[in-house]
Every structure is written in C-alpha cells, then in structure tokens.
A and B are shown apart, each in its own frame.
Chain A
C-alpha cells in the first residue's frame, strides 16, 4: 500500500479542474494544485488579495515584492490577469463567482462541515483569513488533506470537534488514501489507493463510508517531495 504524498494529492485534485474555471487555492497543499493543471485547461487562479490570474512563482531575477499572492509568495501574473482591491476580491468570492476553492482542512464532517481555521493551540492566536468566505460562498469546495493526523486520528468525522469554518460546504475530499464525495446521505468513496481494503479505510475514518459501485484505484504519477 502506497499512500499519495502531499504533492500527489495536489496532482490528483488538479485533474478535476475543468476548462476555463476560476479557482481559488488555499495555503499549504492546495497552492501546489496550480503546478499540475493540464496545460489545455485554461484556468484563472484567484488569490484573496485581489490577484486574478496568479501565475507560477517568480524566477529570482523577476521577483517583484508588490506582486504577491495571499500567502505572501512572490508570483507572476498570467496573460489576461488583473488585480482588484479587497472589497472587489471578496465581492467575487462572496458573490459566488469562484467556480471551485481548494482548501486544506483539519477536519471534515459527514454533512460537509469544515474545520480549517483554528486548532486551538495554546498561546497561538486565531487566523481565519479568507477561509470562511471561501468555504461558505465558492460554488464548489474541495478539500485536500492527509487522511489522518500525525497521531493517526481520523480527520473525516461524524461531526467536527474543532471550530467550524462553514457548515455543509465541502463537496469533495482528496486525501493520501482516497477520493471521497460528500452527498446528502454522507461520504461516498470514489477512489481508493491500491492495496487498501474498504475495511482498512473505514478503520482510519471517523464517519460511515459508502463505496461507489464504480470505485476506482486512486493513482498518481511519481512526484518527489521538494
């Protein structure tokens, strides 16, 4: 059994991005989705700081400290890209103009509830950023995350225990072990990594799982973690 690494999870999510979509990518694994988009999928990546059409990281000789994304990465702008102020940027998000946002998560519940903004660490302040706007208002919310915590605790749960980001918002979850859709009846496994049995996955999951009749093998090309 070979779980996907974090970049392979990003690769897998990227395969589901369709032509011409307007996509927002969260900090962490999600930003790497941009690296694996099919060249023929003409995608605009929106960043909450107002960048519409975020391109790859700037090469060292082309860094511009004013051209950054919401994660403070020095980026480039794709052809046809533009920049708006924060009120317009979130009008775009809250107004339902983002086709899909791909977010990291601490926990996802069987009803689609998402917890991804506050781990309640001692001595650490909260950081909500644009997560609540994106989770509540994007047309589709996909989560990319590892299937369990480092301690082996499940992140897919009957109900989240950490503070919620938004309710009933997650439509699909990509993990190192599976691709899971969230439908009104609960979680449906669409793809499962080779060598893992449904029972194995259930043991790592804190919510009931249905398995799609056409459940496939979750595969990704080899990608070395940078």
Chain B
C-alpha cells in the first residue's frame, strides 16, 4: 500500500522527523545510476519505460527479420524448425508485452500527469514498482536465450495442451508463464495508479469532459488492463499448476478441456489488442488537432466511442475461436458482436477527418505519422471486419491473412502512432526537435517498407499459406509473395534504423526547441521549461476550457493574474512538496524476480528468499512513508527553482 497520498487528503501532519534508522534510508542522488534506480518521478519512470520498450522493439524487430529471411525462399534452411518457432513466439510476445504496451505506459507516465495539471501520479512509489516489475518480467521472458532450455516456443497465445509438461518438457514454457505473470502484476499496478491519478489528481477546473483525449484513452486503457489481466493471470496459474503440481485443468486423461485455455486467454487477449490501440488513438487525437490548429471534431463522441470500444472489447473474445466448433448460435453471436465494434471505431475515423476538415494542416513529421496511422489502421480494420464474418474467417484463421490484419493494426496502427508520438513530444521531453527532413524521410521509408511487407500477406493468406510455418514448398504459389514481403521487411528495417538514428542524433545534438514547439493545445506544453522541471508546474494551472493551454494562450492577461494569485497562495503554504526517492519498490521487484526463478526451478529456498524480499520491500515501503521536501520556484519556474537547464 502506498502511503504517499495519505496526507494528501487528510491534511495530516507528520511529527518532526524522528529516527532514521537504516531501514529508512532515503536515497537522495539526483544524478547517476542510483537516481534512476530509486526515482519516483513520473517523467523519469516514463523515460525508462520508453527506453526499455524501444530496446525490446529492436529485439522483436530483429526476430521479425530472421522470420522474414527464413521465409524468403521455399524450403529455406536459415533457421531450424525449433529456432523458427522460438522466433515467432518471442517476436509476438516481445512486441506486444515488451514493446508496444510499455511504450504506451511510457507516454501514460510522461504525458498524462502533465496533461491533467498534476505534479505526479497518485502513488509514485507504486509507479516505480510497476516499472521494475516490468523489467523483472522482461528478464524472465528472455532469459531462455542464454540458458540450455531455450526461450519459449509455444506461440504467443500458448494454446494448451502444447504448453503442458508432456509436450513442452523444458523450462522454456515456465519462463513464458512466469514472465507474463510478472508483466501482469506490473501492468495492473500501473493501471490502478493511472486510474486513481486521472480520477483524483486533476487540476482545478479540469472536469472529466475537459480531459485531453489522450488522457481519456489512458483511463480507458487502464480499465481494460485491470479488467482483462486477471483472466490471463488465472489461466497462467492453471497451466503453471498443471506443469508444476500435476493438476488436471488441461489434462485430457482426467477430463480436462484444453478449449478452456483458449477462452480464458482470449477473454484477456481481445481487450489486450485494444489496450494496444487505444493509446495510439489517443496520441493521434492529440496530434491532429495540434497540426490542424483546430479542436478535435466531436470530442464527446470520440471519448464515448473509445469507451464503447473498450466495453465491446469484452464481448467478442470468441472471434479468435471461430474454428473451434462452438456451434452456430455462439458463432453467430460473436460474429455480430465483433462487427459492432466497427461502428465506434468508424466514428473515430470520421471525427479525425472532421478535425482535418477546414483546418490549416501543418505537414510536420508527427502529422505524417498520424495521417499514415489513419490510412493503415483503416485497412487493418477492414480486414478485421472480414475476419468478423465467421464463415470467411474459417478460411482466414491461422493464415497469413490474419498476420496481415494484425500487423496493419499493430504497426500501421499502434507503432505508427507511437513513433509519431515520440516525434510530437520529443521537444517537450528533451528540449530538442527532430529534423523535418530526416523525420519525413524515415516516415516514408517505413511507410513504404511496411506496405511492401504486409500487403502481399493478404494474398498469401487467401492463397492458403498457413502462419507459423518455418518452411513451405515451392509449388504452392507463395514464392513471389514471400520474396516481396521479405524485401519489404528489409526496407522497413532500414526505415526503422533511420528513425532511431535520427532520434538518437537529435537527443545528442538536435536543434534546440523553444517552449510550445508546435503551438499546441493541451497543458503538458504549458510547463515552464523543456524538459519539464521535476515539479512539472510552478503553479498548478486552473482550467477553464477543453484544450486548456490553447485557452490560456488566448486569454493571457486573465490567466496571468490567476497564476500570480495561485502562486502566492502556494508559496504561503510552504511551496511545492516533492516526495523523496525510495529504494523499496526496486527491492520488492527484485524479490519478485528471485521468487519467480525459485518457482521455475522448484527451488523452495530461492522462492522463499524472493518471497521474503518482496514482503520486506513492501512492508518497509509502507512504513517509511512518502515524506518529502519542498521547492520554491517562482511562477515561471525560475529563480530559486533548481530547474534543469539544458
């Protein structure tokens, strides 16, 4: 339990600092490794999430390239069958859980508190715990590469009974199970934190219907996470018990039903894909109005359709199981339910176009990515609708048509928007901006490479090429399509390489960006400096309208007076309170990591050590309290403010 917020609403005063005995050692380093390991600052945590995510994006991308190289010609022998199977399993798992989700979390962390005018999330140390538990999960998931048992190879949805001890005797599958389990804990903890933050820490005047759309999507995504992850947690517990203790959940000889796993997995799995796309939609809904210099068209409807996508997402899971013989009634029901999702999604597309209509479109790099997103997501959505017609899906399921569908929504959708988001908020995060020329170049190479890679896959799928096949014969009519796809993947890889080169160059040497680089509309751009100071806002803003910052810019004198008054009030009350850093979230996560290893290797002692470390970490973390210190910047974040200068 996070104690930070305790005094937040009760106004409770702590007694003069007693102790401190060694258990309550508070790290104070502001630079260096320790400052990162013990940070509770949402921006630093967001940055770390983002760095890990981009690293794993490259890892997953390299795995994808190996997949494509194996498939370049029929009967290729670059990879063996087990190697290939490991490759697509790890590619899917890595991209979804270690790249796109944490990249979303990075933006939630960095941007969302700024957008609602808060100085941090509601439970900063819980936030750190989420981060480090995510890292622990990523380690477990990938550790197999370096061990004799190898990395997981049962596919990213690990259908039972292929994951049972009988068919997968090594620890590879245990890494997968425990890794996902830890990632689930991390995601749920983070999501709870975001929910409380958005509901409770909004600046004065920031009503729910004034929240920036990205924040709305953060909220909905967080709800999807807390409501869908429990299903996979249970499912994973069940396979884990089957494997470790010989229970019968999926053990056919004792009456187990493997189909149950599919239901439990997709009850999680389908909301999961909306967990991947809603943040992207949020980002696009920020970029388009900024560069069209117009408010989002139909804000309430966009928000509402986001919520309905989230809700409907829980009612369609069996569309991944149209071929499992569910009977006509269930198939029809899930078919229709799936189709209805096209409506709220369409509404979003229409409103984005409405936003462009009549605007002054500034064609900057983020805008290119956002427009690319709309186009590509539309195509991906349409192939989704084709899947939703169950009879058609009977031919498409587990073929490359599905691979085409989900890469269009995942790359053309999520990744495009996230890459655009990085460009968009780069000036805010690092005070530098990406060169337009190189940014656009990378966009076009990625855009072309992406389409060359994945468009032919529609044809491959309709021509009967099954997915997850390490090889194919030369007489099936798939040679050319695969060759093109592989060449496309190399182009795409080049594009991504350019993108990363540009980002890194900009980070080190890029052109300095002033405040409010894009003439934006939302509060994150109103912070006193780029990058934002650790306290975010010298003065907590008062919100008068949707697109709060735009309003501020157009009502300057009024806002200035308000700020001055607000600042005085805050100063009179002792300045800005900042919570101390803390080591215990990290300790707890390390405990979880060790405990997971103990569980994998059936080592009670290691498991107990891990468990106790986890317990002690959490206990001391709740005992130490948030505490903190005070800062006294002036209204613009100058003077006595230790604002980081760039």
User: Are A and B physically bound partners?
Assistant: no
Chain B residues with CB under 8 Å of chain A are: none
Chain A residues with CB under 8 Å of chain B are: none
